[in-house]
Amino acid sequence: MNVTEVRVFLRNGPAKLKAFANLTLDGSFAVKDLKVVEGRKGLFVAMPARKLPGGEFMDVAHPVTREMRDVIQGEVIKAYKKAAAEKDG
């Protein structure tokens, strides 16, 4: 399965949330509302989630394998960095 499109929506300000992203897999399945977040160890991608009545969050969609998580995270962060560079440049 390949990431065939990533759309990034930058956020303004110094908050840890840097952007939202949507991605398409194999040109046929879309996942919306991923988040690009600045963590203690750098940027990471948070999967779309919903808040449960107890206050916890549960992923709505997520990769099953570590390999697919790495592919998604790599593609989304690459698209984020490109969008941020274009905004600054």
User: Which of 50, 48, 43 lies closest to 22 in space, CA to CA?
Assistant: 48
State which residues form the domain around 16.
Answer: 3-88
**β-bridge mates for residue 9, sequence order:** 20
Domain total in the chain: 1
Residue 62 parent element (H or E): none
Which amino acid is present at 21?
A: A
pTM of the complete model: 0.90
Strand ranges, E, within the chain? 3-10, 17-25, 29-39, 42-46, 49-51, 57-59
| Averaged pLDDT of the chain | 94
Q: Assign residue 64 the CATH number of its domain.
A: 3.30.1120.40
pLDDT digits (tens, 9 = 90+) for 40-64: 999 999 999 999 999 999 999 999 9
In whole angstroms, give the CA distance from residue 35 to residue 33: 6
